[in-house]
Structure 1
Amino acid sequence: MAWFRANGQAAAGVHGAFVSVLRDRDRLAAGGGVLLTERHLLTCAHVVNVALGKELLEPADPGPVRIGAVFPGSGSRDPHEARVTHWVPPRRTGGGLDWSGDLAVLELDGPAPVVPPRWSEMVPGQGVRAWHGGGHAATFVEVTVKECDGWIGYVDGELSGAAIGPGYSGGPLWSEREGAVVGLVAAQLQAPDGPLAAHHVVRRGWAIPWQAVRAELESAGAGPLLASADDAEDADRVPHQLLPPLAALLSDPAERADKARRLAEQCGLHALDDGSAPTYEELATVLTEHPRALASLTEVLAPTAHSARAREAIDILHATGPLVAGARLLSYAEHHHLLVQLKQQAKLDPALLPGAARGALAYAELPEPVRAARITPEAVDGAVGALEELGDSGRVPDGTPRVPALLRVAEYVAAALRGEALDELRGWSDQVATRLGIHPAALAERRADAKAWASRRDTDSGRTVVRLTRRPGDPADAFRCTVWRMAPDGTASRASTGEDRPLAGPEIARLVRDAVAPDGTQAPLVEVVVDRDALRLPVDEWREAEPDDLDPYGIFAPAALGADFRVVLRCPELRRRSPTGTADLRRRWAGSRTEETLVIDELTDDVRALKDMLNKTRQRSTGRVVLHGSPARRAHLLQVCLFMGVPVVLWDRATAGPEQAHHLQEIDSAGPLDSLPERVRDFRVDVYADPERTVRPSLVWEDPDRPLPGELRLADPLAMTEEK
């Protein structure tokens, strides 16, 4: 990644990993070195000799002696101890001006306080930087690689500034353009009989290229230590799938340089400004290393991609980027813009984002960050990141990209907003869809779904949740009762409690009526949460005690709860016993709007037969079931339905057999889903008023978009007995 580099990359990339190798006698620098792995240092063998007080080119292996080392770039001058583990002795060559080998690896007692740098091969023409072994930043030397045969590299310094000299040996040569170490300083070049004269050459040194370092260490048995350095080099081997579309889009060097500079700015990188353009490989490297870089690049390319060939190349980048480069869906700008909007809405309505996710992704297993009923602004980042990782939505026009899950959720959030907030989020969605090449018809369909969801959400002015539980020793028909008022944003406030003693039906009816606050638009929804043994309760028939003698004609007699309220039952206990209960409920809830209602008649009276039926492919999304038959049979089949995640179950608790099955037909159980509780209430009003009609409908209504209060978890009666 030579054309691009991180701001301050030289200091972060190599100076932090620079090592000062200390002399035993005075703890001053014998030379430099560099971190090879998190526990291993690399330097020249002759630097180790100097540190030990030996002859400069002594070839003998010193053994596992311990040598002091300091990491100046770590901010600490505290010395570390390291022992020699691999030794490549210096070997004189024929001319005597330089030598080969001359490498040593030292192992630290623990991990280094810095990280190893990247490595790359040395080639002629590279501008590189070296530091004195003391590690002070002011001692840097700028040199250029003039010749390199893979074993020895000759470097020349400028006529001004510092020059390579004693104490520089063993230190790394850093190429800022490559963003990597390309070799080690070996020595200042000298003539056989003394220093080179000024009229011969000045400021020439020689170095050990990375190619030679790698070969020598592998021969010395240190090959396994090179794995981390090889991994860094492998990072430059970019996915080849990205290169053809980049070449198709950015064949003009000037345009490529312009777009690359804009990309670098968004990624927080520094770009060269020498009139050159990055190679396609360098661009692909950025797309691989920065997860939002690909989206940010196509964001600046899409507005001018007018030809079919350019649009195809962008589509290829979008399709292959996540697979080969781990690219995220949104660009840096798109991501920031969305977070600002969603965080603002989370302050106003914490239930909106998770509710929109449940509505938009009814068939998906929602990620953990959006499963809660309410999301704080601080949690929005995690929620957006998790939604970005989900797959795309359903059908789209042939040959066009699908609508991503995150974009669909954003449409659902937007549909619940008004005015400027709606326009801003819709505008964001339009821009992202255009960049991704999404067909307008596909986006319009998702937008229509979102509008329908928001309309249903707007009509829900709140609800009341009633929890009924029993403790060992309580009377058979009495229950402890807790009532919550649930606001549309998912917040719960405890309205009343009767947990201190068991209450009969009339007393519970009074608590419910005291808690419910009708809004005048429709009958309030009352959700009664029971355990599986209480599904038989006639909660909808409960009413307050009859009036006294002051009302002899019953003019002010209260109606049954089921006449004034949309009373439904909920039984989370059974769903929680299933390992796939939550996923099953969401899948079947979505299916309850599209799939046929399953009517269980007297021919299906076996529990296993019902389980098999609901597991069949064509019944996997069944969300509505009507139960007929005897009370005992209904009780068993009802529990099977709830365990398997069926959210809507209707039955007549008063009938003794299938001969009265036709009574429920008036409710139209297969009609519009959202109005089913209201149709049941209307039916109850009619049958309560006619003594000849004994039918009593019960309705389980497990809407996953209406979460229960967080603390509402029914205890197992057996567990309660044991605790008692």
Structure 2
Amino acid sequence: MRSKSWQVRVSARGVGSGFLVTERHVVTCAHVVDGAEHVEVTFAQHPDLGPVRATVATVGEWSRDGDGRGDVAVLELERAVGVSPARFAAPHTPFGHRTARLTAYGFPLGYDEGILGEFRSTSDQLIAGEWLQLEAWTGHGASLEEGFSGAAVVREDTGEVVGMVTARYAAGGGGRMLPAQALVRRWSGGAGLVPAPDHRPGTVVALRDLVLRCADERTPEAVYRSVMEPLYALPPLPPAGGFLSLWDVAWFLLTEVEPAPGSAPWADFAAHLADRSRDPAVRRELLAWAADHGVRPAPRAPLDRPDDHAVRTADREPLGPDEAMWSPILVEIERSGSDRDTYLVSVHAVRDGRARLVAGATLSGRDVQEYVRKHLDLAFAHIDRAEGDELIAFALPGDWLGEPVDEWRTSEDDAVPLGCSSPVVVMDLGRRRASRLQFRLRKAWQALDRRREGAWQRVECDSTQDPAKLTVRLQWLETTAVGYGSPLSTERSRGLLRAGLNAAAPVVVWSRAGCSGRHDEGAAAGHSCTGARFLDALEEQLASVPLAELPRRVHALRREAFLADEHWAAGLTLVWEDPRCFPETHVPPRSPIL
């Protein structure tokens, strides 16, 4: 027989119930201790302990003239009493049906030693987003009445607490209870006491302590949307009445949200708070928590890469030891649609064939570089170096393809260009979103897996080709790599670049320092211009390199160029896109709220 020795009688201006939840804390209703600073607590099963003085430590936002919400109070005993605390059931433990018998121990008038009532909850439907309805188990048992307020509602077959009685109905013998999960919404101290699915108590307590050290000028709903909209086409709706606090958002993510495949929204939430925290210590601890509690896929064979089984065919040789392997980090930058200079920026770590969102925010253009730089280190914590070398890929809108992302600083404390620290490539975001072109790119890489070397074509800086005809010509020649002699400085050069992208060429290369198209007398006399010299060097040094190895080779060239006074590869931009390395990411239906 289970002994529920943690049940208590609370004596203030009136009498109510309560229950011990730690060795020195009792939970009861706020209306039971209304206006009191100190109360007396008596343990129903331990009369030898006598009355124990307790301080009213925490009171919810309940008010006598309100609607009954926030009817929670926590009492701190003046001493530990040596009684084992109550044990909570996990959220969503099934009890909302007629066959689950619930009990509550109350102290109505004339029953100083208490009385046991039997009840049931016929539905898990919350009333006004706050309470569950209780009904009498039988027509002749004890009814809820004054003195039951604050009593633990216990599932009789397990002895676990599922909620607390907060109100009685005038007729019918039933009333309302605050579910344990809702109790933790109101009282963050309950974190770690009410089990959160798939999370250890220490994990929940650590997040709670960090969240309580955070402040945000935005509403909790805005924070929630900023975290969830990059993950879900239709994010789960917030609780009825909205979130109470940032802690309430965290608790909701831990207990109510079914994670999308490959996601851990609680970790995204922690990373999001870290991004906005002004306290360096809190920022570091939140980022560490996010890294420790994100998605950790099962290990796989080192030479097994995303979607590789789909490209191994009967005429495909096994993967060779010299074949490039990558652990990608994907940075996507796209226009948010809210105004011309607002961008939706997301940083993903690709592992086990899935893109894991590390951080995401809506930013003005001037803030993008700093945001990406700050979150790349966090992304590195999620990739597996056993799968291959890191590869940082920027998926950019068309008008950003000329942005020198490889020249961005590696970190706030490291002025080395990013492209010298790691292999860096870019992709056209529009092409990445086009299923037709992604299909063709996959086919091109499957062919490259067999013949290994690409078919290069050069587009001279003074080319007058029609872009549409160039696209067809590149497709006809099965071109897999295109070199351009001009930077993206004119409408004509941008149109020719688009031709190569539309031809589904896996590799496109140009130099931001290439020929502008205004040739001097030396060029007219037969001397090669800057663009032609660039294409010559490209053909000499890169045409024989397997396309799968190009990011690594370009990485070496960028370091050479950085150390040299002059180098043909200075300002080299590499569009390199193997869709098998970069799985799809969710496209938010609208921009997160700032």
Higher strand share: 2
Higher normalized helix content (fraction of residues): 1
Larger C-alpha radius of gyration, 1 or 2? 1
TM (norm. structure 2) is 0.40
TM-score, normalised to structure 1, is: 0.33
